[in-house]
Amino acid sequence: MPKDIDAKESGIGAATKRREDIRFLTGTGNYTDDINVNGQAYVHFLRSDVAHGRITSLDTSAAAAMPGVLRVFTGADFEGIGGLPCGWQVTDRFGEVMQEPAHPVLAQGKVRHVGDPIAAVVAESAELARDAAEAIELEIDELPAVIDMKAALQDGAPKVHDDLTSNLCYDWGFVEENKEAVAKAFDAAAHVTTLELVNNRLVANPMEPRVAVGDFNRATGESTLYTTSQNPHVIRLLMGAFVLGIPEHKLRVVAPDVGGGFGSKIFHYAEEAFCTFAAKALNRAVKWTSSRSEAFMSDAHGRDHVTKIELALDADNNFTALRTETYANMGAYLSTFAPSVPTWLHGTLMAGNYKTPLIYVNVKAVFTNTVPVDAYRGAGRPEATFQLERVIDKAARELDVDPIALRRQNFVTEFPYATPVAVEYDTGDYVATMDKLEEIADVAGFAARRAESEKSGKLRGLGVNCYIEACGIAPSNLVGQLGARAGLYESATVRVNATGGIVVMTGSHSHGQGHETSFPQVISEMIGIPEDMVEIEHGDTNNAPMGMGTYGSRSLAVGGSAMVRATEKIINKAKKIAAHLMEAADADIELKDGKFSVAGTDKSVAWGDVTLAAYVPHNYPLEEIEPGLEETAFYDPANFTYPAGAYACEVEVDPDTGKVTIERFAAADDFGNVVNPMIVDGQVHGGLGQGIGQALLEGCVYDEDGQLLSASFMDYAMPRADDVPFYQVDHSCQTPCTHNPLGVKGCGEAGAIGSPPAVVNAVVDALRSAGKNVTHIDMPLTPARVWAAMQG
Amino acid sequence: MTKVSMTVNGRPMSGEVEGRTLLVSFLRDQQGLTGTHVGCDTSQCGACVVHVDGKAVKSCTMLALEAEGAEVATIEGQAAPDGTLNAIQAAFQEHHGLQCGFCTPGMVMSAAALLKENPKPSEGEIRHYLEGNLCRCTGYHNIVKAIMAASGQDVTSIAAE
Amino acid sequence: MYEFEFARPETVADALQALGEEDAQALGGGQTLIPTLKQRLAMPTTLVSLGGIAEIKGVCQTDDGKLAIGGGTTHADVAAGASAYPALAALAGQIGDPAVRNRGTIGGSLANNDPAACYPAAALASGATIVTNAREIAADDYFQGMFTTALEEGEIITEVRFPVPEAANYQKFLQPASRFAMVGVFVAKFADGVRVAVTGASEEGVFRWTEAEAALSANFSADAITGLSVAEDGMIGDIHGTKAYRAHLVGVMTKRAVTAAG
């Protein structure tokens, strides 16, 4: 809001303009597709055009003889080489581990979704590679495909993986021990509201399609992969250790400027492994640039849950129990973090902002002949929020109570609060964010606005909801117990140069979040030097210490905390040097505005004097401390962070066509402390755009044979500038996180989590205002669907 | 292969291309002007927008040979020779009109074409004009605001300042 | 794209000669053809660009009061130059997006006859004449179903002549993803009657809604449409809308066009 922007000129809380913008605005960014290695060749993947089938014949000899072709690879070239690993193992409600199929780089005998890579042609140009791919002689014995999740679980359904017992990946219950108590609470309820809904399948569609360039240096034996990744170290570990057997010191992964990710660039993909492998095999760099059409059938998709949710209330409208049953689509293979999304990132958030005492969540994860599904902005938390906030809205309608009042009545108000789904909210103030929302959304003025809309023949609706998310992912020891095959700490090396400038090498990765600007603000604040004395380096495993990357709104909360810890070490050491220079005791040294002074005296030395002394240690306590000024810290969070907020959407519905227009959208968020309010606003705006996209426009649709019907921007509706309004966003309600040094919570996903239920609640409200007995419409709320709902 | 020549950002450029070489490929792969991006293959996203003879076009939907003899302007030519950003670029930075930066070159080039046609566009006119430019990061809020600001309009009252 | 030869003739005569080669194909603005080529759905040996032919560009009025538009005229130039026929100018200004309108041409659009394109509705509702290098074709004879027209191989649209109606309007309901017309209705009121052409809706491509034409010729008001409907059978049904929805939209958009035409 106006009050905090420009409130400070630099440091924490300042709306510092982004330094990275200069290169992006002048066309001098360095994205992966801008990287060309001398002598590089190009790969084109031959992909399955059927959803399920057995490869009966694959003859590449004609293709290999085509002009410019270096080699044609098939699954046979990858026999004995690892498949793509899954990074999370879920244990089901019977104590058994999930079914985990092999995920080959190139198909081994069977294809399991449209787009499954079968062969790879490497040639002197991309067009020659594509020309040759058409000469591959391929025969596939097509098998019946399973697309619908419930059908996939029927006895006798075709199996996606012949070696698994069924298409069920796992049947997860949470908290299993509560199941009976929840059932009893439902038996005793004064009112039960039930809702069946779909959380629509989405495609992340960052504007930059994925690209991979593999390179190999025969002299050093080092492989290099340039890739569009949110977490290059994770790719190095997964690909090196589990797929190709390359140790970390012989494998460099570089994720340069990355054009958006939204989750879809977390995962390790076959194309990355292929380019790295083929570069070594051919002793030539190998480049792959995805087309958008290819992205639709090879990037992991998001969401795709089918849920039944039930809410029990007592006679006073207090929530007494919640029960859900969800079918979660895994697609044909387990993408890197797929199993965690419908379980630990979803079930643990089912309490929402409410003190519901008893909750039971059941999730059945299902294999189908579709593209793998994994985390997409919000990942599990949007699905949880959507169900919960829709069922509460429906309950309010059934009970004829104000939906905002029903929420307020059931808010968690005392913190810390241990939910019945295993997490502890450290802090929050849901009343404050709802108050703020009612103010900025002008809820009081809605009735008048509705009357105006009705005069012009439009139906107007108001939808309100809350959300909570778990960010700052995550405490390693906790996620280890939950099945993560990774730690989720973050790292930073702070290198102070002799003349005082600083380079921070962070394991976090910026692909739009503005770390190059916001991270220096933190160091500037801590040391009291100008922000432009600090540079951020990220994205190159040869520079940054092992880090887990950027997703789950974790960069500042976890990566920023690591940077703070490393900077604290720097300051401690610098104080010792300063003490020596001023012949004072360490404990008496104070650092302020870039100057070290001795408490109670006028003695001081400048930051630059100390840093110079560290590297020119002529007058230096060499017997006590080493020269140099460079420190590394790894930060492992004690808990998740819990951003929360309240959102309001106002829509107009054209009753003749069913077209929905977003007239107003307001978001009141509590992100704890804020480092750069301009960037935070931008993150919320972007999340809202994607959430509104999910609610109104976006839907990834397969037909019953497994053909992708929404296979390009011609059929997958991306939000455009005229689909959305100016947003009213506010983050002035701030309850700082209690367990990280900056008191920050994370803001990247909030908009995408909080907005879909607001939109749907608003449309249902609008239709009800016209006397339509509509209780729910599945997303996306296209004009056709809204119109159809109005006819029923 | 056929020789193609054009003027790009005021400098003559030429190269040997195939019939099927797209203008964007000529710019990116042959001339090293990688500021122009490719975000789709159906002419929807607008990351590739450049100006040809003063008009915004999608360089991924135009053959290089169709630009023979043309005056082409790309994102690389928008700032002053000393690096000073033009009004649109400066407004995008000032109002945080970009995040990952991938759609940005196309957005800036489309905005430039808009302001040439319509020096003081309304919010609605801007949103409509950007129909062919997709952004996945910003939710468009700050892009629209930046273009309004670049056209000299007061944007202080816009929500979420 | 498959490799092809590229030709850029400067006269219609040279273009016709180039198109006489086997598997030669004309390239208008390329806004549909180039994406199609990228998908390798077409395989011309020679692509003959019509973009260099000055004689088929421009907008002017004919002596008998018609609006004549060169086949190579871009949508942007029609939007700016067809002020004598405001409904047509407005339609041109809504096609695709600004960058597409700077390249795409009226001749290219009509030759392609995409079932969701806008220009076919204008041409059919206006009773336009499609002029080629060889002949003149009445719009009623020209459109022959989805992606099918009366054009012979190698025939070039050099001009489109639009009679200017007393009142006209085009209403387009967008398919949310492609932003082509999910349903587009062009209503044109002439002294001797009303013509209504519908694009986007039918599996047969653009069509005239004769029932509405009769009703509107008797009474040019939105009320005249009330109670009329097109048959669902033959409408397009897809992930964006059912047949029933499209049939419904035809009625809604027709009413709106009549109201807007005034």
Do you know the residue count of chain C? 262
Q: What is the DSSP letter of B69?
A: T
Rg for chain C, CA atoms, rounded: 18
B3-61 confidence digits (pLDDT tens): 999 999 999 999 999 999 999 999 999 999 999 999 999 999 999 999 999 999 999 99
**Chain B residues near residue C37 by CB distance under 8 angstroms:** 20
A324-366 confidence digits (pLDDT tens): 999 999 999 999 999 999 999 999 999 999 999 999 999 999 9
A406-454 confidence digits (pLDDT tens): 999 999 999 999 999 999 999 999 999 999 999 999 999 999 999 999 9
Q: What is the mean pLDDT of chain C?
A: 97
User: Would you state the pLDDT for residue A1?
Assistant: 37
Provide the token pair at A707: 């053909």
Peptide bond into A175 cis (omega under 30): yes
What are the residues whose beta carbons fall under 8 Å from the beta carbon of C203, sequence distance 6 or more? C115, C146, C234, C235, C236
> CB–CB of B110 and C178 under 8 A?
no
A683-694 confidence digits (pLDDT tens): 999 999 999 999
B99-114 confidence digits (pLDDT tens): 999 999 999 999 999 9
User: Would you state the pLDDT for residue A7?
Assistant: 67
A114-135 confidence digits (pLDDT tens): 999 999 999 999 999 999 999 9
C56-73 confidence digits (pLDDT tens): 999 999 999 999 999 999
> CB–CB of A25 and B104 under 8 A?
yes
> Is it the case that residue C136 has pLDDT exceeding 60?
yes
Q: Angle at CA B122, nearest 5°, toward B142 and B53?
A: 85
Alpha carbon of residue A601 to chain centroid: 51
A237-290 confidence digits (pLDDT tens): 999 999 999 999 999 999 999 999 999 999 999 999 999 999 999 999 999 999
- In the Cβ-directed half-sphere of A438, how many Cα atoms lie within 13 Å? 10
For residues A560 and A522, what is the distance between their CA atoms, to the nearest angstrom? 8
User: Would you state the pLDDT for residue B159?
Assistant: 64
Provide the token pair at C212: 């509405």
Tell me what the mean pLDDT of segment C80-97 comes to.
97
User: Would you state the pLDDT for residue A82?
Assistant: 87
> CB–CB of C34 and B62 under 8 A?
yes
Alpha carbon of residue A528 to chain centroid: 33
> Is it the case that residue A2 has pLDDT exceeding 70?
no
> CB–CB of B55 and C76 under 8 A?
yes
A510-537 confidence digits (pLDDT tens): 999 999 999 999 999 999 999 999 999 9
Alpha carbon of residue C18 to chain centroid: 25
Other residues' Cβ atoms within 10 Å of the Cβ of residue A732: 16
- Adjacent-strand bridge partners of A44: A121
Q: Decide: A434 and A646 in contact? Cβ < 8 Å.
A: yes
Considering only the beta carbons, identify the residue of B102, B136, B140 that sits closest to A721: B140
For residues A597 and A483, what is the distance between their CA atoms, to the nearest angstrom? 50
User: Would you state the pLDDT for residue A474?
Assistant: 87
> Is it the case that residue C113 has pLDDT exceeding 80?
yes
Chain A residues 599-658 within an 8 A CB cutoff of chain B: none
For residues C125 and C110, what is the distance between their CA atoms, to the nearest angstrom? 14
- In the Cβ-directed half-sphere of A607, how many Cα atoms lie within 13 Å? 20
Taking CB atoms and an 8 Å cut-off, how many pairs form between chains B and C? 78
- CATH 3.10.20.30 range(s) for chain B read 2-77
> CB–CB of C35 and B58 under 8 A?
no
B2-77 classified as CATH 3.10.20.30: yes
**Which pairing describes strands A41-47 and A286-289: parallel, antiparallel, or unpaired?**
parallel
Spatial CA neighbour of B103 closest among A316, A528, A720: A720
- CATH 1.10.150.120 range(s) for chain B read 87-150
For residues A344 and A473, what is the distance between their CA atoms, to the nearest angstrom? 11
Spatial CA neighbour of A729 closest among A771, A672, A776, A670: A670
What are the residues whose beta carbons fall under 8 Å from the beta carbon of B54, sequence distance 6 or more? B71, B73, B116
Tell me what the mean pLDDT of segment C50-58 comes to.
96
CA distances from A433 to A662, A729, C181 (A): 22, 11, 42
> CB–CB of B61 and C51 under 8 A?
no
Report phi then psi at A364, rounded to 5. Answer: -110, 115
Tell me what the mean pLDDT of segment A298-307 comes to.
98
> Is it the case that residue C33 has pLDDT exceeding 60?
yes
Other residues' Cβ atoms within 10 Å of the Cβ of residue A552: 30
E-state strands within A228-358:
251-254, 286-289, 301-302, 305-313, 319-331
Rg for chain A, CA atoms, rounded: 27
For residues A716 and A707, what is the distance between their CA atoms, to the nearest angstrom? 14
User: Would you state the pLDDT for residue A430?
Assistant: 98
User: Would you state the pLDDT for residue B22?
Assistant: 98
A133-181 confidence digits (pLDDT tens): 999 999 999 999 999 999 999 999 999 999 999 999 999 999 999 999 9
Confidence of residue C256 (pLDDT cuts 50, 70, 90): very high
For residues A53 and A111, what is the distance between their CA atoms, to the nearest angstrom? 5
> CB–CB of A717 and C177 under 8 A?
yes
pTM score? 0.97
For residues A735 and C116, what is the distance between their CA atoms, to the nearest angstrom? 53
Burial of residue C45, with CB atoms counted within 10 A of its CB: 0-12 exposed, 13-18 middle, 19 or more buried: middle
Considering only the beta carbons, identify the residue of B2, B41, B58 that sits closest to C99: B58
Share of chain A above pLDDT 90, in %: 97
For residues B155 and B145, what is the distance between their CA atoms, to the nearest angstrom? 7
Spatial CA neighbour of A731 closest among A459, A515, A436, A510: A436
Q: Decide: C65 and C164 in contact? Cβ < 8 Å.
A: yes
Provide the token pair at A96: 């058994």
CA distances from A614 to A500, A575, C156 (A): 10, 11, 78
DSSP letter string over C41-104? ----SEEEE-TT-GGG--EEE-TTS-EEEETT-BHHHHHHH-TTSHHHHHHHTTSS-HHHHTT-
Minimum distance, in Å, between the CA of residue A714 and any CA atom of chain C: 4
> CB–CB of B102 and A207 under 8 A?
yes
Other residues' Cβ atoms within 10 Å of the Cβ of residue A138: 18
For residues A551 and A230, what is the distance between their CA atoms, to the nearest angstrom? 7
Spatial CA neighbour of B123 closest among B98, B151, B91: B151
> Is it the case that residue B160 has pLDDT exceeding 60?
no
Q: Decide: C222 and C197 in contact? Cβ < 8 Å.
A: no
Taking CA–CA distances from A723, the nearest residue in chain C reads: C176
ipTM over 0.90: yes
Considering only the beta carbons, identify the residue of C4, C100, C179 that sits closest to B58: C100
Spatial CA neighbour of A212 closest among A294, A133, A303, A132: A294
**Chain B residues near residue A679 by CB distance under 8 angstroms:** 96
Spatial CA neighbour of A173 closest among A348, A360, A392, A305: A360
**Chain B residues near residue C51 by CB distance under 8 angstroms:** 66
Confidence of residue B157 (pLDDT cuts 50, 70, 90): confident
Q: What is the mean pLDDT of chain A?
A: 97
For residues A82 and A109, what is the distance between their CA atoms, to the nearest angstrom? 16
**Which of C248, C252, C254 to mutate to test binding with chain A, by most A CBs within 10 Å of its CB?**
C248
CA distances from A592 to A526, A527, A602, A605 (A): 8, 7, 13, 11
> CB–CB of B102 and A206 under 8 A?
yes
User: Would you state the pLDDT for residue A792?
Assistant: 81
Q: What is the DSSP letter of A20?
A: T
Taking CA–CA distances from A293, the nearest residue in chain C reads: C39
> CB–CB of C97 and B18 under 8 A?
no
Instruction: State the chains in contact with C (3 or more Cβ–Cβ pairs under 8 Å).
Output: A, B
Tell me what the mean pLDDT of segment A34-45 comes to.
97
| B13 contact A CB<8A | no
**Which of C240, C250, C252 to mutate to test binding with chain A, by most A CBs within 10 Å of its CB?**
C240
What are the residues whose beta carbons fall under 8 Å from the beta carbon of A446, sequence distance 6 or more? A460, A462, A650
Containing A653, the helix (H) or strand (E) segment is: strand A644-653
Considering only the beta carbons, identify the residue of C2, C38, C239 that sits closest to A715: C239
What are the residues whose beta carbons fall under 8 Å from the beta carbon of A35, sequence distance 6 or more? A213, A226, A256
**Chain B residues near residue C54 by CB distance under 8 angstroms:** none
Q: Which residue has the tokens 């890739």?
A: A227
Handedness of CA A140, A142, A146, A152 (dihedral sign): negative
Provide the token pair at A153: 């679980």
What CATH number labels B87-150? 1.10.150.120
Tell me what the mean pLDDT of segment C143-149 comes to.
95
Spatial CA neighbour of A172 closest among A267, A88, A245, A234: A88
**Chain C residues near residue A716 by CB distance under 8 angstroms:** 177
Q: What is the mean pLDDT of chain B?
A: 96
Report phi then psi at A426, rounded to 5. Answer: -80, -35
Taking CA–CA distances from B23, the nearest residue in chain C reads: C34
> CB–CB of A710 and C239 under 8 A?
yes
> CB–CB of C98 and B18 under 8 A?
no
> Is it the case that residue A5 has pLDDT exceeding 50?
no
Tell me what the mean pLDDT of segment A625-645 comes to.
97
For residues C7 and A197, what is the distance between their CA atoms, to the nearest angstrom? 56
